[in-house]
Structure 1
């Protein structure tokens, strides 16, 4: 499911989301470390909400802990 999300967002905005591996790791870390995501719903989200959530995760993930910082809460959190 995460691969589908990354496929969609990198196809829509390749200049913004160019590092697929980091993006997959960020979404996985977010989901596994305290902010469960509705992955199936996020994979089907409209472009605005998809880029909002993925961009928010990318900007607010603490890569040391895998937790989101800055009061970020994705729209497609569980």
Structure 2
């Protein structure tokens, strides 16, 4: 998947998270968090986008709750279910 396509998919994932009411901050923050998570974990974005609610929520909430924006890393050995 090309970089532009990945960003579009990240936007769609963020929109779904907003619709589910699982944003910690706002859509823009989640897009930035997902971009970092994709850089770190090489996320399977297409599978995450269509995941069932439980697995989708696990990854979205986990990314938001374990991100260290300053160090561009994730705490507590968090590993998204849709990482490669």
Query: Hey, which of these two has a bigger chunk of strand by percent?
Result: 2
Instruction: Say whether residues 1:24 and 2:31 are aligned partners.
Output: yes
C-alpha deviations, 1:7-66, integer Å up to 9, x for none? 1111011xx41511111100101111x211100000010111111101000000110132
User: 5+ residue gaps in structure 1?
Assistant: none
Query: Hey, which of these two has a bigger chunk of helix by percent?
Result: 2
Instruction: Tell me what 2:17 maps to.
Output: 9
TM-score, length-scaled by structure 1: 0.88
- Separation in structure 2 between the aligned mates of residue 65 and residue 39 of structure 1, nearest angstrom: 23
What pairs up with 1:23-42 in 2 under 5 angstroms?
23-32=30-39, 34-42=40-48
What pairs up with 1:41-56 in 2 under 5 angstroms?
41-56=47-62
User: 5+ residue gaps in structure 2?
Assistant: 1-8
Q: CA RMSD in A?
A: 1.1
| Count of residues in correspondence between the two structures | 75
